[in-house]
Each structure stands twice: as C-alpha cells, then as structure tokens.
Structure 1
Amino acid sequence: MPGLMLLDTPSLYFRAFYGVPESVTAPDGMPVNAIRGLIDMIAMLVREHSPGALAACMDADWRPAFRVAAIPTYKAHRVAPGGGEEIPGTLAPQVPVIERVLDAAGIARVGVPGYEADDVMGTLAVRARGPVDIVTGDRDMFQLVDDTRPIRVLYTAKGVKNLQVVDEAAVSARYGVPGRRYADFATLRGDPSDGLPGVPGVGDKTAADLINRFGALEALIGALDGGEGGDGLTAARRARLSAARDYLRVAPAVVQVVRDVPLPDLDLSLPLRPRDPEALDALAGRYGLNGPLSRLSEVLFEAPGASGG
C-alpha cells in the first residue's frame, strides 16, 4: 500500500557529499556531488518503494535553543568558529541549490523555525493516516517505529542501495528494548555524535536492562526519588544514576523527537509535473544536472497517469 515517505534531507545530502567524488562538478567547476547524489537517491527511493506522498524534511534550526538550554553540550563540537554549523566548505554552496531543485521539481520541502528535520519527521509521521517510511541515517528516529501504523525506518547506515528496514522487531533484536522506549535507552547510554553524555558507566546492555526492569525512564527516576530498597538497583547502579539525576531530568527534552511541530499547510502528494519547468531546466543547465534530473523525471513525471513533464 503506497504511503508517506519522509526524507531526512540533511542526512542524505551529507551522505551524497561523502559518497560522490568532489570531481563531479558543474560546467563552471563548482562541485555538485551532493546535489547530484541526492537527486539520484530520491529517484531510486521513489522507483523502488513507490510512495504515495513524499516530504523532504529540513533543518530550519540544526541546534534548537530548547535543546541547548537543556544540555549545553548538544552538538557543541559541530559549531563553527564564527557560529552556525561547521560543514565542509564545498558542501555549503550546494545546499541552497538543493533547495531550489526540490522547489522547482515540486517535491514538498518542509522546515519549521526552531526545529530540526527530526522533529518535522516525527510530527508528520504521527499525523499520517497510513504507512510511513522514514529514510535516515539517524538512530534517534528508531523511537518512532510502530508496527501498528505501520511506521518504519529505512536506515541508510550501509547506503541507500542497501537500506536496512527497521521495525519494532529490529529495534528489539538490536538493542533489547521496544522501539517506543528507544529514546529512554538512548538517554541513558548517551550519544557522543550529538554531544549527549549519557550516564557514566551505563552502556547498551545496562541501559536495556534498566529500561526493561522499570518500563520507562520516568519510573526509573521515580525509583531513585523513592530511596533505597525494593527497586532491585544495585548500590553501584544507584550511585551512578543518582549522580546523573540532573542530567536524566533534562535529557529527554533533547533526545525525544517533537511530535507536535506547528506545520504549515502542506501538499505532500508526488508531483505529476514540475512546479517550475523553466527554473528546473535552468538549474539543469547551470549545474550540469541533466542526467540526474532526467532520472528523477522518469519516476515522477513520466509515471503512468502523469500528464506533462
């Protein structure tokens, strides 16, 4: 059954940037590896998964203030000396072009001030009335998997050509916790890539054991607040968790994906024709994108039932 496909666009264009050589350039010599790679990724995803709707989700704010207020180290190691996100110099000029290509093609591009792409995806996923596939390399999205909807993650750790389908069974098999508890698990374990310290001395195995024992992070904190006795915590674990009590109270605001982002009115249906054909042709010529855009057109604009293109 065709459903909604949500693209973690920053995750994908970073993967494209590192996966396609910088020697791939526009006629004027500007590197376009991320642009071309992302367009080809989208074409392949649509061709192989046939979604009924599509949204390219963006980071309108890659390091939201509410997350930094909770944990100041959040993504701090990725802040450029002059402020903003530190990204490769040859990638930065490609991002605005990616946005122009998506807009001209008519693919919904969604970003909301004050929120990350993760939060946009979370909100769209829980609002959807049918199946949802989330294409991302970010494990934080595992907290959204839900077999009853179904919501699943198409995980790009091994590349877009070798997607790993992550459902509730996959989360349980890999981490030993239900998907709905992945955020609690990640809070305890931490994530150095996001500057999330976790609880010192608590790794994957201990985090899973604690979540399974108490059911949720809130119940674990309640056990700490209740004092010793009857909760099954060893003295060593209690000491570690008690020392991290302040962290445990604020970290969920950082780890949990927001599911009620104020979204604008959106049309997520696949475009049957380019929104702006002239702009798309101009972009193809200016940046040498004829091949990738032809492949994208084949799966979007020349599909059965499409008119124009």
Structure 2
Amino acid sequence: MSAPATGPLLLLDGASLWFRAFYAIPEKITAPDGQPVNAVRGFTDMVAALVKQHAPSRLVVCLDLDWRPKFRVDLIPSYKAHRVAEEQPADAIDAVAEEVPDTLTPQVDMIMAVLEAAGIATAGAEGLEADDVIGTLATVERDSEVIVVSGDRDLLQLVRDTPAPPVRVFYVGRGLSKAELWGPAEVSAKYGVPQENAGPLYADMATLRGDASDGLPGVAGIGDKSAAQLVSKFGSIESLRAAAADPDSDMAKGVRAKLVAAEDYLKAAAPVVRVVQDATVEFSRPDLLPREPANPEELQALAVAYNAESPVKRLITAMAKR
C-alpha cells in the first residue's frame, strides 16, 4: 500500500521547462555519440531541484499533444500563428508545427525515456495543450496542495485559496533561481484584481489587454490597468459584454465604444484564453512520485548514454530524501 500523500501535487509544464533548459545550457554539451544533450541535462536538473525544494508526494509532467488546438484557432485564427514554421504550406492546417530547434526535437524523446525509467508520470489530453492538462488536474484535485510550475503567466488564472486545496503557480519565467510562488494574494497585489477571485479575473484581464506572444490582439485602447479596473468592477468578460450592450449600464462612453467595437473578439477570445478544466487526461503511469527509480538499471544506462550522470544522480537523491 502506498504511503499517504503529505506533500503537494507538482504539475510541470513540460515544454515550457525543456525549452528553457535548451536555451540556458550550451549545445556544446553532448553525449558520447556527439548528440547535443543540453536540454536533457538542464531539464533533469530542473526536476531534481523542484523535487528537492517542494518535496512533492505526486508529480506529473504535462505535455502538449496539440500545442495549437483547432477549437482555439477556429475562434481566433491568429492564435500562436507567428509560431508556425514558415516553410509549412498555408493550407496545411493539420501539418503545422511549432518551430522547435532541430537539436531539441530528439532530446524530447530522451527526456521521456529518463522520466519513464525514473518512474515519473507524464500526462496529456488528445487535441489539447499542456495548459489544459494542468488546468484540469489542478481543478479536480481535492486531496493535496497543487503547485504548477511554468514560465507561462497564463496559468496564473488557476490560483485559488478556496475551495480547498489551494493552487499556487511557481513562475519560472526568469529562471529557476528567480522563480516566484504566486497565489491569489500575489496576483491581486501585482495586477490589481480582487483577491477572492484573482485567478479567473486574471484570465479575463489578459483577454482584454491581449497577449502578443499568443497572437491575441486584445481590445484596442485597453491596457493592464484599465483591464484590471473593468474586470474588478463588472466581474467577468461576459458581464462586461452585457454592460457594453446595455445603454443604461454604468459604463463610460469611451470604454463602451471600445468594447462594442471589439465584441466579436471578446466573444471568441474568452474560451481561447481560459484553460480547459474538464479534459480527458491520460497518464503514462500513476502520479505517485517514487522514492526510488522505477528502473534503476535503465536510468543509469540512459544517464551514461546522455552524458547526464550528475543530473540523474541529483534527481535520484532528491526523490529519496523527500
């Protein structure tokens, strides 16, 4: 029988972390066969550091099975459009792929092999992004505190104090050494939205202001401060749209004009920005983090093959010392 879970559930945004690892460590770090292994080493070290710092009882590396889901593109065609490889034909909708460095692609398979041998669960949802997997697992969790690890601020929409258990985002956008733990209080203080509903209001604020990195134009003339004021006053994008359409509502004429002009965008963008919270998630294995690798011999063989013996040793030590 498994020991009772006492530590948090750690949900890692897989691609967010291995992209950061790839760019943080020089490609001259190679395996004995000459293949670059900078992302493998960096990612493994990140996981080891996160396990050491947060002592999770459960851990899931969440995956993009579709980094640009069709339902989001149908609603907002510009969604992540700038990340599509330029050489792809414009009509090859099913073939488009995010621009990934040639030397990173094979390392993702290496990372998956290391996780499997270590006994660390991965999870994905057909046709959806890692954000949606994280959103679902964080929303349905009822036993353990949830800590989401990502360099994507969009996931701040998940923070909560109630209903229990709490959800926090460990934001690593500036690197693991400068990572910050965000909850409703921190989101409220930074963005000026009410603490009691800070997560959902952050998503609505982001919808209004837009996000160039995701190809979301936002509402012309609405920035961070005015977006926060509007969602704080009216409570949601839906309430804002209703107020803008109501000539008797308490809304300034200039703001009303901006929102009415952006009605089509607002109607489409809200479900694009909000993460899915009821996805059908499939796991590679149970999410309980073992104290010993699932396959020690295979893990050691991979460590040698990938020139990652030191990071793998640190991971094994971190798992054992929780």
- Is TM (by shorter chain) over 0.5? yes
Structure 1 match to 2:184? 168
Q: TM-score, normalised by structure 2?
A: 0.90
Structure 1 counterpart of 2:72, one-letter code: R
CA-CA distance at 1:78 after TM superposition: 0.4
Is 1:23 matched with 2:31?
no
8 Å contact 1:74–1:194 — kept in the other structure?
Answer: yes
Structure 2 match to 1:270? 289
Structure 2 match to 1:5? 10
Structure 2 match to 1:256? 274
CA-CA distance at 1:235 after TM superposition: 2.0
8 Å contact 2:124–2:282 — kept in the other structure?
Answer: no
Question: Helix, strand or coil for the counterpart of 1:251?
Answer: helix
8 Å contact 1:146–1:180 — kept in the other structure?
Answer: no
Structure 1 counterpart of 2:233, one-letter code: R
8 Å contact 1:136–1:156 — kept in the other structure?
Answer: yes
CA-CA distance at 1:277 after TM superposition: 2.9
Out of 280, 284, 294, the position equivalent to 2:299 is 280
Structure 2 match to 1:49? 54
Structure 2: gaps of 5 or more residues: 1-5, 89-95
Out of 112, 128, 131, the position equivalent to 1:118 is 131
Moved more, 68-77 or 265-274: 265-274
Q: TM-score, normalised by structure 1?
A: 0.94
Between the aligned partners of 1:122 and 1:137, the Cα distance in structure 2 is 15
Structure 1 match to 2:93? none
Question: Helix, strand or coil for the counterpart of 2:105?
Answer: coil
> What are the Cα deviations for residues 117-157 of structure 1, in whole angstroms up to 9, with x where unaligned?
00101111112122000011111111110023210001112
Structure 2 match to 1:307? none
CA-CA distance at 1:263 after TM superposition: 1.8
Task: Give the fraction of aligned pairs with identical amino acids, expressed as a percent.
Answer: 52
Between the aligned partners of 2:81 and 2:178, the Cα distance in structure 1 is 31
Question: Helix, strand or coil for the counterpart of 1:56?
Answer: strand
Between the aligned partners of 1:2 and 1:295, the Cα distance in structure 2 is 19
Give the RMSD, CA atoms, in angstroms: 1.4
8 Å contact 1:147–1:168 — kept in the other structure?
Answer: yes
Structure 2 match to 1:211? 231
CA-CA distance at 1:274 after TM superposition: 2.2
Structure 1 match to 2:97? 84
Alignment of 1:167-206 (within 5 A): 167-177=183-193, 178-206=198-226
- Provide runs of 4+ in structure 1 moved above 4 Å: none
CA-CA distance at 1:280 after TM superposition: 1.8
Question: Helix, strand or coil for the counterpart of 2:168?
Answer: strand
Structure 1: gaps of 5 or more residues: 305-309
Between the aligned partners of 2:258 and 2:245, the Cα distance in structure 1 is 14
The alignment of Structure 1 onto Structure 2 pairs a total of residues equal to: 301
CA-CA distance at 1:160 after TM superposition: 1.1
